[in-house]
Amino acid sequence: MNKIEIKTSFTAFQSVEELPQDVQTLMQQAIEVRKNAYAPYSKFRVGAALLLDNGKVVLGSNQENAAYPSGLCAERVAIFQSGAIYPDAKIIKMAISAASDTNKTTTPIPPCGGCRQSISEYEFKQNTPIEIYFMGETGEVYRSDSIKNLLPLSFDKNFL
């Protein structure tokens, strides 16, 4: 028997203002689009902004549905939209902001498991890491240099 140890690392910024200017702009777009979330059931709003290698920014917010799990998370809305509109563009950076209508979120909130798998699929497809920045409503922002920090043992087409 062998013990396998997996380590990940993140960079923590104290606030949005501490981020590089281009990421501040991207995060502000994620915060703004978060307001467009359709979240009547969870009362949990998420916004995502993707910066593509062609300079375009693609936005997404979570969209819920009474027939769970028919809704989609903000990250997947943005990723799938970028794949549909700009199929050859690479995702360079992703900014995510989450807020609750019922309590203040002040700790960084990472993508859910389904979104991690989707981000992993696109990172694998483009063979380029995606920088991921995530936060709550306010407070610290975490940066991951790749989805591999959030999903170190990913499942991809090589297993099929």
> Are 106 and 52 within 8 A, CB to CB?
no
SS3 at position 48: strand
Q: In this structure, is the dihedral angle defined by the CA atoms of residues 47, 49, 50 and 54, taken in order, positive or negative? A: positive
CA distance 29 to 24: 9
- For 21, the token pair is 């200017």
Tokens 């699929």 belong to: 121
CA distance 117 to 114: 5
> Are 116 and 151 within 8 A, CB to CB?
yes
Is 5 catalytic? The answer is no
SS3 at position 94: strand
Active-site annotation holder among 17, 32, 64, 75: 75
Which residues are known catalytic residues? 75
